[in-house]
């Protein structure tokens, strides 16, 4: 499944609305952040994740095997999804256009909480188009197609129900025979005929 953009709930009123998208996998991760005008990203390989964890004395050691690596990614993802008891905080980056996102997630006692920093770098404007605008247009097109299919399916259902009501009426029966709990069969049947 492809990662989707989601809104970040930030208490800092000085920040604009922000959207985030994260793709975490066995070979590394890519995280995108946008304010709908600009886009920042960080992409790390598995080796770079391991190195950062060791350099920052991370509470989870991803070099301790695939299970620990997966737990680290799960905790990072859970924090980005703003699960209970997690927190995130923005800080200025190391460059003028950079941005840091500090993540914190609880770990079982006696481990100290996981602290992880995502170092975003500002991307070229065409990345906003590639990562946000074009996928949103595709998603909009898919939703329109699904809506048309749903409307067609509902129309066909109504047509079948109308035929069923007509046949029941022609045979001298009403809706209380196939649907014994229907007390207002004539009202329902007349409503279907109007559609």
> What DSSP line would sit under 2-25, residue for residue?
----EE-----TTSPP-EEEEEEE
CB atoms within 10 A of CB 80: 24
Tokens of 47: 């080796």
Answer positive or negative: Cα dihedral of 5, 9, 14, 17. Answer: positive
Residue-by-residue pLDDT tens, the chain, 195 positions: 468 899 998 888 888 899 999 999 999 999 999 999 999 999 999 999 999 999 999 999 999 999 999 999 999 999 999 999 999 999 988 888 899 999 999 999 898 999 999 999 999 999 999 998 898 889 899 999 999 999 999 999 999 988 888 888 888 876 666 666 655 555 555 565 555
Tally of CB atoms within 10 A around 77: 18
Structure pTM? 0.74
Pick the CATH number of 6-123 from 3.30.70.1450, 3.40.30.160, 3.20.10.10, 2.170.210.10: 2.170.210.10
In which residue are the tokens 């923005």 written? Answer: 90
């Amino acid at each position: 499944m492809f990662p989707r953009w989601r809104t970040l709930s930030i208490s800092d009123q000085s920040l604009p609305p922000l959207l985030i998208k994260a793709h975490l996998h066995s070979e590394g991760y890519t995280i995108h952040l946008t304010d709908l005008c600009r886009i920042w990203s960080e992409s790390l390989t598995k080796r770079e994740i391991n190195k950062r964890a060791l350099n920052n004395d991370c509470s989870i050691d991803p070099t301790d095997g695939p299970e620990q690596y997966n737990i680290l990614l799960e905790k990072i993802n859970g924090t980005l999804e703003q699960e209970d008891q997690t927190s995130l905080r923005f800080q200025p980056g190391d460059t003028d256009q950079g941005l840091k996102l500090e993540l914190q997630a609880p770990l079982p006692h006696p481990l100290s909480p996981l602290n992880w920093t995502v170092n975003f770098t500002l991307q070229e404007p065409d990345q906003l188009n590639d990562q946000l605008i074009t996928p949103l247009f595709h998603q909009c097109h898919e939703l329109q197609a699904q809506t048309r299919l749903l409307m067609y399916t509902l129309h066909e259902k109504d047509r079948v129900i109308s035929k069923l009501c007509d046949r029941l009426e022609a045979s001298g029966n009403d809706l209380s025979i196939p649907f014994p709990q229907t007390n207002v069969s004539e009202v329902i049947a007349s409503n279907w005929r109007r559609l």
